[in-house]
Amino acid sequence: GENVEQHPSTLSVQEGDSAVIKCTYSDSASNYFPWYKQELGKRPQLIIDIRSNVGEKKDQRIAVTLNKTAKHFSLHITETQPEDSAVYFCAAHEADSWGKLQFGAGTQVVVTP
């Protein structure tokens, strides 16, 4: 089955700097890669996603890139703000795997003013 590795486990950045989180996946048949943000005591919320037929996607300060050949994808947050502090999870959806997301272990991002 699919295995997703996520790095780093913690990331501390100064407000205004960029943050990058990287994930690798094992199953080349995986075709959908969402990113979720989970604030303390809250539910995971989708912040951006990318499908395997696209190499990059942007939404304001957030972008995701996908390299299918190397089987890795990355989340980029620019101009970080204190409200970006949270745990971020990457995930992969295997083809023909109904309703199952395989999650990375998560990255604790701390943005210091």
Partner 1 sequence: KAGVTQTPRYLIKTRGQQVTLSCSPISGHRSVSWYQQTPGQGLQFLFEYFSETQRNKGNFPGRFSGRQFSNSRSEMNVSTLELGDSALYLCASSSRGGAKDTQYFGPGTRLTVL
- Applying CB under 8 A, the residues found at the interface with partner 1 are 31-32, 34, 36, 42-46, 49, 51, 89, 91, 93, 95, 97-106
The nearest distance, CB 92 to partner 1, in angstroms, is: 10
Choose between 34 and 85: whose C-beta lies nearer to partner 1. Answer: 34
E-only strand ranges, the chain: 4-7, 10-14, 19-25, 32-38, 45-51, 56-59, 62-67, 72-77, 86-93, 101-103, 107-112
DSSP reduced 3-state for 25: strand
Choose between 36 and 73: whose C-beta lies nearer to partner 1. Answer: 36
The nearest distance, CB 2 to partner 1, in angstroms, is: 10
